[in-house]
Amino acid sequence: MFLPITLTIPDQQTPRNIMGVDLGMRFLAVSYDSYGVTRFFNGKEVIQKRAQYQALRTSLQKRGTRSARKRLNAIGHRENRWMRDLNHQVAKALVNQCKQPTLIVLEDLTGIRETTERVRKSRRYVQVSWAFHQLRQLIEYKARLNGHTVVLIDPAYTSQACPICGQVRKANRKKTRHEYVCANCGYQSNDDRIAAMNIRQRGYMTVLESISGKPDMEGSSQRSHDVPSASNRGTKGRRHPKGESTMTTAGQGQASSVRAR
């Protein structure tokens, strides 16, 4: 199920901190670590700005003049610089939250267009064509520069599997409300957070396999922490101990911390 990788773990020990990172558009990144801390990097402003760029491009393309083509080229360069700068900010913030040597687990986004949620053609440019590969490369570069290890895992079913009981069921994910509700054990949380939890778990299992050759189901003893879903509805499912959740808007500075109850 997992992609073939090679890991070098100092002293053949599992890293104390393992952080799973889910990349997307509604949230550019959602991270979940070994201490139950979840951080969200809001992509709402990104979607709005990309929509503005698209509208401007469409207007200039309709003109078809020489000056319009020159401006289109200039806008393309400007948008690319903006995207790269924002990806730098997100990658830096993700790596800086690791206060000790950390295993950062990312999805292998090869074929991202096939795994991204289907959207209307008119919205495809805004929601699908973000530079995910560039963001992943920046995270890898900054992580290794700071002494962390990066591993890539297969993204299949990370948004459909329950991190508590392991049930895989597409209907558990409520896309319109951005919630995940397990029909088996009742666990409920934000769907992007669920993906980050599963990504972290797969990274953990991959490390154990590289060390001992035998997978270990850490999920059976994992203490999980719930946070409000994107729709801010109350948790109806299984109750879990308090955890820390942080919301960061892309391009902003320090994020505020919220204790989930």
47-99 tens-digit pLDDT: 889 889 989 989 999 988 999 999 999 999 999 999 999 999 999 999 999 98
The arithmetic mean of pLDDT across residues 26-36, rounded, is 93
**What is residue 118's predicted lDDT score, i.e. its pLDDT?**
53
pTM (2 decimals)?
0.75
pLDDT at 229 exceeding the cut of 50: no
pLDDT band at 230 (very low <50, low <70, confident <90, very high): very low
The arithmetic mean of pLDDT across residues 229-258, rounded, is 44
The arithmetic mean of pLDDT across residues 210-231, rounded, is 49
pLDDT at 224 exceeding the cut of 90: no
What mean pLDDT value characterizes the chain?
Answer: 77
Find the range with the poorest average confidence among 37-41, 50-54, 228-232: 228-232
List, as one string, the DSSP characters of the chain: -PPP-----GGG---SEEEEEEE-SSEEEEEE-TT--EEEEE-HHHHHHHHHHHHHHHHHHHH--HHHHHHHHHHHHHHHHHHHHHHHHHHHHHHHT--S-EEEEEE--TTHHHHSPP--HHHHHHHH-S-HHHHHHHHHHHHHHTT-EEEEE--TTTTTB-TTT--B-GGGEETTTTEEE-TTT--EEEHHHHHHHHHHHHHHHHHHHHHHSS---GGGT--------TT-PPP-S-----EEEEEEETT-SSPEEEEE-
Find the range with the poorest average confidence among 17-21, 95-99, 215-219: 215-219
147-166 tens-digit pLDDT: 999 999 998 999 999 999 99
The arithmetic mean of pLDDT across residues 237-259, rounded, is 44
Query: Over pLDDT 70: what percentage of the chain?
Result: 68
